[in-house]
Amino acid sequence: MTNQLTFKEQVEALRIEFPNDKEFGTKVASLLLADKTFCCLCDEQIPMNPLTKWDKGNNPSPLGKEGDRCCDDCNASVVIPTRMGNIMGSGIINALK
């Protein structure tokens, strides 16, 4: 997991540093333009999906914390199997025997 501040934490820090609304707005706008999303599971930058143009990743629940995002690879190889295991419980283990 990365030690980077979340977007919300970055905005809160900017509000403290720049109490003037105009300066604050300018800084937040530049932060939005530079916002890069990283996978909470593999720490890689989440690339834009060429089909959907979405670059904010997937919900990693139940593996991440609130606000985390994961890349398509981790979603397919780790998150979805974990969810399926949680749904199936021990039944999936018995089905694989």
pLDDT at 1 over 80: no
Over residues 9-37, mean pLDDT = 81
Over residues 66-93, mean pLDDT = 86
Q: Locate the domains of the chain by residue range.
A: 7-96
* Confidence at 96, pLDDT banded by 50, 70, 90: low
Look-up of token digits 């997991």 = 1
Look-up of token digits 């706008």 = 29
Over residues 30-47, mean pLDDT = 82
Output 90 or 5, whichever has higher pLDDT: 5
Q: DSSP letter string over 32-88?
A: HHH---B-TTT-PBPPPPTTT---S-B--TTSS-TT--B-HHHIIIIIHHHHHHHHH
